[in-house]
Amino acid sequence: MKPYKFLPFHSPWWVVFAACLGLSVSSVMILQFALSVLIKPISAEFGWGRTTISTAFTFAALLLAIGSPIVGRLIDRWGVRPITLAAIILSSAATALMSLAPGDAAIFIAMAAGLGFCGAGQAPLAYAKAIAAVFDKRRGLALGIGMAGVGVGTALIPRITQVLLETYGWRGAFIGLGALIFAVAFPVVWLFLRAPGGQPSIAAAAHDVTGAEPSAGLTAGEVWRTQSFWLLIAIFFFVPMACNGTVVHLFSMLTDRGISADMAVKVFTGIGASVFIGRLLCGAMLDRFFAPYVAMFFIALPALGALLLASNMSASAQVAGALLVGVGMGAEIDLIAYLQSRYFGMRAFGQVYGYLFMSFCIGGGLGPYAMGLSFDKAASYQPALLGFFVALVLAIGLLGRLPKQFPYPAHG
């Protein structure tokens, strides 16, 4: 690989490093894993059912979905770094402001929705764009390592949130999390996601670094007219619906079933490790095997995990189910970036990723709502978990319908 001259350390792997750390405290991590720990204390203080808290997550995910294509277009035009830095400031402030939420459910939901919208520029889209722009032949591995930040966040955010909750209450926890986002993400993005020679986009130097032509590919309008795009829209709706729905309620589900809060937090640490390992393994496999087949394997694992959690057998079986969900969870993030770059090219990467991530967010927002509704109506998470299993099997079937050759394969 040629020297990465526009970074002070002369290597594109610093972009991967920045993506990994930035993702570990992204808005997606806060909405998924911090909220999972805070569901019970917020519900207890305000007397709300879990459906209400889940509705807040759903609206946050919906606004994150709406913001994603907008951010994608801005990134394609102005570059990753300025948009991401602005988003980090906004999302850290919006997270801290959640500490002021009153006991009015509508206001709480609106504030969560605002957090989701502000976090669109600090979601995986920006980091995936930066990595895909400077890697071609080893794009899968680079995306896998960068997206492994999801695993780091999965392991650390619940534990940090639990410590903040026990020390300062749930309001203080939101302030601490807002400070954490800024303290971790802002410096690494400022230092390591620099564009070359003052140009607005990292993609401008991609040809020099990877040998790939960054302008090659379909326009967003052309992508919309392909069957592959709509298959990916459906796939990346079903998978996060199942995985996010399970994870957001996992802390409550495990403690409801007699597992201590401390052990439940440790389970999240294990999930974080499984997410991290899964992302590295998935990334390495994407460069060696046909990507849709790799995706089938990583979607089958959380499907099995959902079945184990639905069975409500022994504590060990529940932990195993949670870990299997973790191995597959986050696969959507690097799979979205890899598959779209191979099927549609890099020409409108940010905008197309924004549309696919919109589907991801809508599915990811409906999943927790379905779990909350299942618990409030049936006093059990089992109906939703069985529905998630069916959704994941359907996603595997849709992957089998994707074209068997990539129009934009790796160079070299």
3-state secondary structure the chain: CCCCCCCCCCCCHHHHHHHHHHHHCCHHHHHHHHHHHHHHHHHHHHCCCHHHHHHHHHHHHHHHHHHHHHHHHHHHHHCHHHHHHHHHHHHHHHHHHHHHCCCCHHHHHHHHHHHHHHHHHHCHHHHHHHHHHHCCCCHHHHHHHHHCHHHHHHHHHHHHHHHHHHHHHHHHHHHHHHHHHHHHHHHHHHHHCCCHHHCCCHHHHHHHHHCCCCCCECCHHHHHCCHHHHHHHHHHHHHHHHHHHHHHCHHHHHHHCCCCHHHHHHHHHHHHHHHHHHHHHHHHHHCCCCHHHHHHHHHHHHHHHHHHHHHCCCHHHHHHHHHHHHHHCCHHHHHHHHHHHHHHECCCHHHHHHHHHHHHHHHHHHHHHHHHHHHHHHCCCHHHHHHHHHHHHHHHHHHCCCCCCCCCCCCC
Percent of the chain with pLDDT over 70: 91
Q: Model confidence at 205, in pLDDT bands (50, 70, 90)? A: very low
Per-residue pLDDT band for 210 (boundaries 50, 70, 90) equals very low
Highest mean pLDDT among 118-122, 164-168, 266-270, 322-326: 164-168
pLDDT score recorded for residue 10: 63
pLDDT band at 100 (very low <50, low <70, confident <90, very high): very high
d(CA 88, CA 123): 10
Tell me the one-letter amino acid at 335. Answer: L
The answer to whether residue 213 scores a pLDDT higher than 60 is no
Confidence band, pLDDT 50/70/90 cuts, at residue 143: confident
Q: How much is the pLDDT for 209?
A: 42
State pLDDT tens for residues 221-271: 899 999 999 999 999 999 989 988 888 788 888 888 888 878 887 887 777
Please tell me which residue, 77 or 82, carries the higher pLDDT value: 82
Q: What is the pLDDT of residue 8?
A: 52
Residue 303 has pLDDT above 50, yes or no: yes
Range with the poorest average pLDDT among 141-155, 191-205, 218-232, 287-301: 191-205
Confidence of residue 383 (pLDDT cuts 50, 70, 90): very high
Report which of residues 163 and 328 the model is more confident about. 163
Do 121 and 326 contact (CB within 8 A), yes or no? Answer: no
pLDDT at 206: 43
Q: What is the pTM of this model?
A: 0.73
* Backbone torsion region of residue 345, taken as left when φ is above 0, otherwise alpha when ψ lies between -120 and 50, otherwise beta: left
Domains and CATH numbers, the chain: 13-399 (1.20.1250.20)
**Per-residue pLDDT band at 4 (split at 50, 70, 90):** very low
pLDDT band per the 50, 70, 90 thresholds, residue 1: very low
* CB 339 within 8 Å of CB 292: yes
Q: What is the mean pLDDT of the chain?
A: 83
- Give the confidence band of 328 by pLDDT, cuts at 50, 70, 90: confident
Q: What is the mean pLDDT of residues 1-27?
A: 73
Where does residue 283 rank: exposed (0-12), middle (13-18), buried (19+ CB within 10 A)?
buried
Residue 402 has pLDDT above 90, yes or no: yes
Look at residue 399 in the predicted model and tell me its pLDDT: 95
Lowest-pLDDT range of 107-116, 199-208, 312-321, 362-371: 199-208
pLDDT at 211 over 60: no
**pLDDT above 90: residue 172:** yes
* pLDDT value of residue 43: 87
Q: What is the mean pLDDT of residues 4-9?
A: 48
Percent of the chain with pLDDT over 90: 29
